[in-house]
Amino acid sequence: MKRSTAFALAFWALLAGFIALDWVRATPLNRFDEPPPWALRQPAVEGAGHCAAPLK
């Protein structure tokens, strides 16, 4: 086996290992836990927005 082939195989094996480790250790994403993109007919909550918050 050529040296470059061995380095390529080692790289892809390490990359796959890191992805597998991240997949196993990460908490699952709850995509329904996010706030709605538009607050249509939602009650106003003081301090909820970060973009329009006054500077302190």
Distance of CA 7 to the CA centre of its chain: 29
CA distance 35 to 17: 34
Structure tokens at 4: 């470059």
End-to-end alpha carbon distance in the chain? 64
What is residue 19's predicted lDDT score, i.e. its pLDDT? 97
What is residue 8's predicted lDDT score, i.e. its pLDDT? 97
What is residue 23's predicted lDDT score, i.e. its pLDDT? 93
**Contact (Cβ atoms closer than 8 angstroms) between residue 17 and residue 11:** no
**Contact (Cβ atoms closer than 8 angstroms) between residue 3 and residue 9:** no
pLDDT tens digit at each of 56 positions of the chain: 799 999 999 999 999 999 999 999 998 888 777 766 776 666 665 555 566 555 56
